[in-house]
Amino acid sequence: MNIKNRAELVKAMKLIATSINDEDIIDSWLMCGVADGDTDYESYVEDETFVSVIDCFMRCMVGAAESGGIYCDTLCGGEVGIPKSELTVGDAIGKIADTTTVEVHSGDGVTAVYNGKDSIPNKLNDRTVVRMYAQDDKIIIKI
């Protein structure tokens, strides 16, 4: 592979890694892959550095598959090979504090914010949770 091809691959890995739907994994990429704002991709093409970037990218992809997939233009994908959750929204809200702010994100891009679990409509209780995580002072539930 020549320098130009390696630089293009590093640029592509950066785009994909920074589209992962998990801030912790993106932070990991920024530390061991290509730093935020760095566009000198040819500085990563020497054999040892290039292999290190690829190793970091592969770890990020494993993390993406386990935690949130890839996010682009309000779409998220990457659930292939990962067992779907058996947890319903009703089960999930039963596990959180009464006054917690809850954001429910549906696959069609609609987001609803509820102040306290008692304000979540019953019609959502049977929906399957794809992902649930804490962010700042709220709980995010993806259905």
pLDDT value of position 72: 77
Domain end residue (candidates: 77, 105, 123): 77
63 and 109 together in one domain: no
Domain end residue (candidates: 46, 77, 108): 77
φ, ψ for residue 135, nearest 5 deg: -145, 120
7 and 66 together in one domain: yes
Assigned domain for 82 exists: no
- Is the pLDDT at 64 greater than 90? The verdict is no
33 and 63 together in one domain: yes
φ/ψ region of 94 (left if φ > 0, alpha if ψ in -120 to 50, else beta) reads alpha
Assigned domain for 34 exists: yes
Question: For 68-73, what is the mean pLDDT?
Answer: 76
Instruction: Note the pLDDT tens digit of each residue in 78-90.
Output: 654 444 456 677 7
Note if the pTM is more than 0.75.
Answer: no
pLDDT value of position 82: 43
Tell me the residue range of the domain where 94 lies. 89-142
7 and 67 together in one domain: yes
